[in-house]
Structure formats: C-alpha cells, structure tokens
Amino acid sequence: MPADTTTPAPEVIYVDKRRVACDGGGGALGHPLVWYSLEDDEAVCGYCGRKFIFDPEKAAKSP
Ligand SMILES: [Zn+2]
C-alpha cells in the first residue's frame, strides 16, 4: 500500500441557499449528484465529506 497517499482535508463550501447539490467535483473524486438540505445552517456530504455552510456573505465573496 503506497504511503504517500494523503486524505485531503474536507472542503468547506459557503452557500447562499438552503438546498445544495454535490457531485464531489467530478473526476476521480466525483460521486453521483446528491442534494442536501441545510438543517441548522450546515450539511455534510456523505460521499465526499464536503461541508456546506449557509452563509450568504461568504458565498458572495467566493470566486
Ligand atoms: Zn459530495
């Protein structure tokens, strides 16, 4: 087993909607498109571990 494979830190994504879709970003790390409702202003993708946080201000600032 290769020792140089590192697990990427879970990504945090700020969104301005309480319903988000995640497909893991496509490619090798991708997964089927799934939708999440942000309860308590956050949700974590069960496939890729990305964390979605409801924060319209930060969502607007991201590229
Ligand atoms: Zn995902």
Q: Can you give the length of the chain in residues?
A: 63
pTM for the whole structure: 0.76
Reported as a single tens digit per residue, the pLDDT across 3-61 is: 566 655 668 999 999 999 999 987 777 999 999 999 999 999 999 999 999 999 999 98
- Give distance in angstroms: CA of 34 to centre of ligand 1: 7
Which CATH architecture does the domain made up of 12-61 adopt? Sandwich (2.60)
* Ligand 1 centroid – CA 57 distance (Å): 22
Residues by chain with Cβ below 5 Å of ion ligand 1? 22, 24, 45, 47-48, 50
Task: Give me ligand 1 centre to Cα 5, in Å.
Answer: 20
Q: What share of the chain is helix, strand, coil (3-state, %, to 5)?
A: 15, 30, 55
